[in-house]
Structure formats: structure tokens, C-alpha cells
Copies of this chain bind each other. A is one copy, B any other.
Amino acid sequence: MSPEDRLKELGLTLPAMPTPVATYVSFKQVGDMVYLSGQGPRRADGTYPTGKVGADVTVEQAYEHARHTGLGLLAAMKKAAGSLDKVEVVKLLGMVNAVPEFSDHPKVINGCSDLFVAVLGDRGRHARSAVGMGSLPNRMTVEIEVIVKVHS
């Protein structure tokens, strides 16, 4: 089954990509590697879920935010590679906006990692770090950046 078929089966639609409002870009390709800019769980109206995971936000809620962030990253991968059929995820940095004593970062970032494997199969498996930030833009709950390889 193709990644697009898997998305359909999961009832998921890739979001439209927002235009970065600064001197950076959504992704940059060098050879067959693509570096994606960090993304958060952006809603269709441009707002984000906010708050500190471990206080205002539960692990379960943040898992959903990480999954939603993953959809935006898949949209950027598709735009970069032309098709999700060519994409292999290499490295993920999962950043959680958490309270200082938070300890379940992996359970949060699994929301994105699980989605990548569900949609891309074995090519969705990646090296990763899942860590806690002091703060994030827009006070959003998670931000994730990814490096992918584009197969020809």
C-alpha cells in the first residue's frame, strides 16, 4: 500500500503548508537529503495548542499534538520530494514544552514517530531524540524537526 493510500485509510489529510514569515524556508535540500524546518501542531486557522506538558497539558493530549505536527511534516516532505513514495525519515528531534520535572517525553513524541511508520512503513523508522525545552514559539506544546532522505 502506498503512503497516500495509508493516509486515506487512516482518514488523514495533509494540511496546507504555511509560508514562513521570515528569511528562512520550510525545507532545504542538499543532494538527496532534505532538512525540514521545525513545525508545531498548527491548526487550520493558524493557531496552536498552548501550555506546559505535565501541568496544563496531559501526555495523551501532547501525543495528539505530536501526531498533528507529524502531518504538517509529511506535507513538507511531500512538497520537497514530489511524492511520499520517495521519502525515508532519517533523524527526528522532538521538543516538548514541559514543566522542569517532566519525564515522559518519549511517550509524547511517539505521536509523530508512530504516524511516520503508519504512513511510510519501514522507511518511516528513524533515529531520534525526545527532549524538554524551556519554552517554545507561540507557547506551543511541541515542536519537531526532521531530516529525510529522498530516494530517486
CB distance from A76 to the nearest CB of B (A): 9
The verdict on A37 contacting chain B, using a C-beta distance below 8 Å, is: yes
Tell me whether A125 and B25 are in contact (CB under 8 A). Answer: yes
This chain: how many copies in the complex? 3
Tell me whether A143 and B129 are in contact (CB under 8 A). Answer: yes
Interface residues of A toward B: which range?
35 or more
Tell me whether B35 and A114 are in contact (CB under 8 A). Answer: no
- Say which residue of B33, B97, B100 sits within 8 Å of A52 (CB atoms): B100
Tell me whether A28 and B125 are in contact (CB under 8 A). Answer: yes
Tell me whether B23 and A117 are in contact (CB under 8 A). Answer: yes
A135 to B132, CA, bound (A): 4
Tell me whether B90 and A30 are in contact (CB under 8 A). Answer: yes
A128 proximity list for chain B (CB < 8 A): 24, 37-38
A68 proximity list for chain B (CB < 8 A): none
Interface centre among A98, A136, A149, by most chain B C-beta atoms within 10 angstroms, is A136
Q: Which of A123-150 contact B (CB under 8 A)?
A: 124-139, 143, 145, 147, 149
A15 proximity list for chain B (CB < 8 A): none
For the complex of A and B, list the 6 residue pairs with the smallest distance between their C-beta atoms, beginning with the closest: A132-B135, A38-B129, A134-B134, A35-B91, A35-B127, A28-B127
